[in-house]
Homo-oligomer: A and B are copies of this chain.
């Protein structure tokens, strides 16, 4: 575990080159911090070319000090290109990324090169709403009541409440906390799993990973919101699933690699848990022939829980604030200390 590394940021009168996607540069031009030597924006075009002041850069001219790996990198299909640029940027001091989970191998490479990395939690509110929406829809059997409407059936329909249900939130980063707060506001009782000690009144109890399986038999909703690491890969395997309640819901908004998908399919077939809500899968996009698509107890979305309408503006705000802090030699928000 290292703290902020010791590479100094540049004095305000020296040029600073910032690598970012061209559309981000255009949108944020008016919000960039002013300094004696203006920022030089190294703009990644949608075709993969890199421009500075309207001219394509040769590889030898490319030496950014800072970079922003934004949502646009993904939506424009530029991830592979961006990663290769980062790997080739010898003078890189700082990367700000929209990722919350840093399991892409490039992050470990940058970290070992002592590049500072700050990450985003802009997606946490969206993820929390995603989880809340899907759990409520299952508890209230939305598909069944919609079918009743389509058949003009006035159908009494008692439903399961979130109030007094027990949730187990695995991983108490920003997403886990945001989920816990919303479920608690609905009267749910929340247990949290995290390695570090934590005291927050939103939780009835917080226990370390070693006590997770013991909590499963009384948990109505189990939400995976933890990083994918060597310790967590395949976390949800046969013993985990066998310890769940029959009417429990498993929600994965974190990483597909946390779940042994073959074991999950077997468990769902056997009736325990009752439902899996999966926003992520081991292979993405999930191949059309994969049985998770068609299992009646699975609700599957396309790595989409982050994609709330507030995520892009929250990402912009956080990047701009961290850029200001970087230039002012202040502490970065959400800087990563270990990978």
Contact = CB atoms under 8 A, between A and B. Distances in A.
A231 interface: no
A220 to B, nearest CB: 11
A260 to B, nearest CB: 21
A146 interface: yes
A163 interface: yes
B182 A299 contact: no
Interface stretch (A7-15, A36-44, A104-112, A129-137): A129-137
B154 A285 contact: yes
A91 interface: no
A299 to B, nearest CB: 7
A74 to B, nearest CB: 9
A187 interface: yes
A236 interface: no
A161 B126 contact: yes
A61 interface: no
A143 interface: yes
Contacts of A184: 185
A310 interface: yes
A155 B288 CA distance: 12
A164 B317 CA distance: 15
Interface string A186-214: 11000000000000000000000000000
Interface string A109-151: 0000000000000000110111011101101101101101100
B142 A308 contact: no
Contacts of A307: 156-159
A276 B293 CA distance: 31
A304 B160 contact: no
A304 B129 contact: no
Contacts of A134: 142
A209 B126 CA distance: 33
A162 B185 CA distance: 14
A309 B186 contact: no
Nearest to A298: B149
A129 B157 CA distance: 14
A86 to B, nearest CB: 24
A146 to B, nearest CB: 7
B293 A149 contact: yes
Contacts of A26: none
Nearest to A135: B133
A320 interface: no
Contact of A158 (B132, B187, B309): B309
Interface string A274-288: 000000000011101
A132 B136 contact: yes
